[in-house]
Structure 1
């Protein structure tokens, strides 16, 4: 009989305050969905093309996006956004180290508003490029810091990765996907409503929706406490304790709260003792190298899944495949709604059914099959109505599958892989890598799908089917299962160099040590907590 110490799980309702705080921060990701829907659809709008393109009766919309050098403007308005996000994510670690998460999010709100004003008010392509780059800088901070906060701050160490309880962490971090899809639905609905206008308002109205996020987020941040872990690392112990109280105090008994606080302090003290410095080079030393590479690899699979191609070019791609502009926009709205359903389905699976690793592998298989189906249909029945319907069906299935599996699970898993003291550096640089790969995809995709270039059409999906197979192999061989583990337990597992196979069942000691320390401070706490569980399996996981 083995005595295993574990902290009791609490419901979403018990953690409603923390969930609300994480939801406020996660709204930052809505910008990503709004912009993706807008920019992906604007390229097919006659009103937009009349200003930034030229008339071409041979095209379904009656306009083409650029003459002379096909695709240059088209590639830049998509790729400059990701380039800006790449640059800001790259410096996110340094910025967070000195200024914290909330200041970074407020700065992003200001940059976001400036970028929107530029894009709405200009008819000059160079100004559009500048606006897209500035918007990318803002989006990089929004995505990076909202996910760091969600996994690391809202439910400190156990709950959006830093802030969420361990058993609810995936659900709270998955709010990223929830807000992205809400943004995509709103963006798709707005662009569908304005697509037939032939004036500037056809694209200015969708771009105007990009003011929603900076407005609500900037106001909501006044209600959000700074990350307890960040404050603790900065030596602001009392402020950190008050921040943790604001996040978790209502959902725990005083004894359970004390245990969580002691475990957090103990974990951070041990990390500080293990490493005297906190800097970007530490990500590539000792056991941190494994954790960094896992984080990078998991974030890279978002691009490897083919998501950026579908998100950025789905509406335009369907028009090139032969759909009318009206039908393409309608199917775009339908696909974003399916994506939203997929997000909620995936959140349920992560909470009640599957671990992170299983979710990711399932997603790689499902996404690969939808991409293969799309490519094969274009190969065997090119130009037919059946092929066109297959493109529509497999695109819809992909949107559901990606959002339910890889889209839901990558951020929770990636943010859990890295250590607390290096999370802003590691996650920031990983997201930066993801944006670079997204930029590369956005820049190169038009060469494959445009009739003026390679004209592969849906056959381009063969590449992404193979890419998903590579993702599946990576998930199976390299990614350990972290479901139910606190961030401190994950630190202990990596420090002990536990293999992928043994990660799920390996017994950890940090919770028991924290409980013993609490018992020393307050005799009788263990009985009050009633969190000792007796089981027969000596390798029982505390998750």
Structure 2
């Protein structure tokens, strides 16, 4: 965070547009003072951070990366629970225990099925919890820190899974769907908290050369959780008792136990501690995170000056402040990133891939195997995303990723027009899966955390999470009508819808997405305050 922090103390004595970031006109009054020393310490720290190579940063900061990994661990639950909520419907014992015996017109027979109202209800339960958790995290993390938020979230997980476990059917009773619904709401709350806290913590803790890669690993954690859910259901779905689906729920107890066991040692972010005025504790945590030889005083000075400047330019940290002045542009960029994630076909590919392939003629086993295989393709693709966000930048990765995804979806739509094109659909679904995870799926996370102000980061992440949840809910309502044989029966032609939406989004990405790669938070603040056009961020130089 070099350039800007050196000017913050003199903001009222010099014109911000002058681009003069060193010692300004009014700094002579404080030369040799404590403020002057802080400015110089911050300037040197930021200069060193910008010049550091990623290999050196990784080798020199193993503890910081380890704690980032712990925060990412919580996101595995997001992926696991999100997929488990939908694939549990495929377990015949679950349908028998919670469903009704319904007449099937197609084969003139009866079978157990979950009523449509409860299918929507279970999806809505997770969404309700997600929204509550996302909003709550924005408030609580700012006031009480991330450690308390995570502790409460793990407690909600334990209680929610408890309700799901004991809602199961027994020899004397049918499955209790309202209790299952309540359990899903409770386990949904931590998902909103984790997906808000993890990326913001990583953005603040990760060394600058690794910030994009580490933050984008949020998506890898989500995909890993989805793959884990597939593995669990593959092993348990044919068990002859309620354990065929109970075990799918109970695995989340393991996540919560591990998370709580390590949480006691979790170091709060120095950004939060400095904002609370706990400077000595911030220095202590910085030493724990970065070890000996790290410029702790430079880091703390940099954070202090950054937060001081933000306090001078905004009234308070609130959701309303996210939409004032230049903050509104930053917030809309963040929200639009998660909006694009949700309208690029993710709900269809992940949630309805197997169903669509079955309707297209594949057997149940083949469809499940393809779905599971593509999930691992996504996992590998996300690892490429770690490289892409640093090599090609945030803007380039998002733009070219959206273009490739739009083309893939259009091709899937074309192949969906031909009955014999089912395997061509599979191929381009694989292309889509790899591209999504290596581009917009990965890069959305660093974009959201970097374009937001430090003091508004939790609030902005909450708004992005809410955007994702709302758009995902709309997709969840519309997709059954688009895919089901007794409705629109679009099959692979759904790709046309998402391809068109994504094509329009490409224009927005090209117009309004800035390049924040290699920029300190203070530099990003300044570029927005100077109203530099997002397309010109990469070319704009700030003097030291």
Flag whether TM exceeds 0.5 (same fold).
Answer: yes
Asked if 1:340 corresponds to 2:386, the answer is no
Structure 2 unaligned runs (5+)?
1-19, 23-42, 168-174
- The structure-2 alpha-carbon separation of the partners of 1:39 and 1:233, relative to structure 1 and needing over 3 Å to count, comes to same
Q: Displacement, 1:12?
A: 1.5
User: Where does residue 304 of structure 2 map in the other structure?
Assistant: 265
418-427 or 79-88, which deviates more: 79-88
User: Where does residue 154 of structure 1 map in the other structure?
Assistant: none
Asked if 1:416 corresponds to 2:450, the answer is yes
SS at match of 2:59: coil
User: Where does residue 177 of structure 1 map in the other structure?
Assistant: 219
User: Which residues of 2 match residues 2-81 of structure 1 at below 5 A?
Assistant: 6-7=47-48, 8-9=51-52, 10-53=56-99, 54=101, 58=106, 63=111, 65-66=113-114, 71-81=116-126
Cα deviation 1:80-111 (Å, max 9, x = unaligned) = 21232022212322212221111111111111
User: Where does residue 168 of structure 1 map in the other structure?
Assistant: 210
Q: Displacement, 1:221?
A: 1.8
Choose from 89, 105, 120 the match for 2:165: 120
Take 1:47 and 1:322, find their aligned partners in 2: how far apart are those partners? 25
User: Where does residue 356 of structure 1 map in the other structure?
Assistant: 394
SS at match of 1:501: helix
Take 1:372 and 1:213, find their aligned partners in 2: how far apart are those partners? 39
Structure 1 unaligned runs (5+)?
151-160, 513-543
Take 1:172 and 1:340, find their aligned partners in 2: how far apart are those partners? 15
May I ask how many residue pairs the two structures share in their alignment?
488
Take 1:52 and 1:202, find their aligned partners in 2: how far apart are those partners? 13
User: Which residues of 2 match residues 454-473 of structure 1 at below 5 A?
Assistant: 454-473=488-507
- The structure-2 alpha-carbon separation of the partners of 1:323 and 1:115, relative to structure 1 and needing over 3 Å to count, comes to farther
Whether contact under 8 Å (1:44, 1:316) holds in the other structure is no
Choose from 112, 123, 128 the match for 1:83: 128
Q: Displacement, 1:356?
A: 0.5
Take 1:63 and 1:361, find their aligned partners in 2: how far apart are those partners? 47
- The structure-2 alpha-carbon separation of the partners of 1:229 and 1:141, relative to structure 1 and needing over 3 Å to count, comes to same
User: Where does residue 149 of structure 2 map in the other structure?
Assistant: 104
Whether contact under 8 Å (1:339, 1:403) holds in the other structure is yes
Choose from 177, 195, 199 the match for 1:147: 199
Take 2:226 and 2:312, find their aligned partners in 1: how far apart are those partners? 45
Asked if 1:240 corresponds to 2:282, the answer is yes
Take 2:111 and 2:521, find their aligned partners in 1: how far apart are those partners? 53
Structure 1 length as normaliser, TM-score? 0.85
User: Which residues of 2 match residues 297-308 of structure 1 at below 5 A?
Assistant: 297-308=336-347
316-325 or 136-145, which deviates more: 316-325
User: Where does residue 201 of structure 1 map in the other structure?
Assistant: 243
Aligned-pair Cα RMSD in Å: 2.4
Q: Displacement, 1:141?
A: 0.6
Q: Displacement, 1:198?
A: 4.8
User: Where does residue 445 of structure 1 map in the other structure?
Assistant: 479
Whether contact under 8 Å (1:79, 1:440) holds in the other structure is no
User: Where does residue 130 of structure 1 map in the other structure?
Assistant: 182
Take 2:306 and 2:254, find their aligned partners in 1: how far apart are those partners? 38
320-329 or 210-219, which deviates more: 320-329
SS at match of 1:498: coil
Whether contact under 8 Å (1:88, 1:432) holds in the other structure is no
Take 1:198 and 1:121, find their aligned partners in 2: how far apart are those partners? 18
Q: Displacement, 1:467?
A: 1.6
Structure 2 length as normaliser, TM-score? 0.84
Whether contact under 8 Å (2:511, 2:535) holds in the other structure is no
Asked if 1:329 corresponds to 2:368, the answer is yes
Take 2:505 and 2:291, find their aligned partners in 1: how far apart are those partners? 40
Q: Displacement, 1:240?
A: 1.4
Take 2:265 and 2:449, find their aligned partners in 1: how far apart are those partners? 24
Asked if 1:217 corresponds to 2:251, the answer is no
Cα deviation 1:415-467 (Å, max 9, x = unaligned) = 11110111111111221121111122122211211223222222222111112
Whether contact under 8 Å (1:372, 1:465) holds in the other structure is yes
User: Where does residue 155 of structure 1 map in the other structure?
Assistant: none
Cα deviation 1:145-173 (Å, max 9, x = unaligned) = 112211xxxxxxxxxx1111222101111
Q: Displacement, 1:257?
A: 3.9
Q: Displacement, 1:495?
A: 1.5
User: Where does residue 438 of structure 2 map in the other structure?
Assistant: 404
Cα deviation 1:271-330 (Å, max 9, x = unaligned) = 112224222221111111111111111121110212123223333333343333322222
Take 1:310 and 1:142, find their aligned partners in 2: how far apart are those partners? 24
User: Where does residue 17 of structure 2 map in the other structure?
Assistant: none
Q: Displacement, 1:388?
A: 2.4
Whether contact under 8 Å (1:112, 1:139) holds in the other structure is no
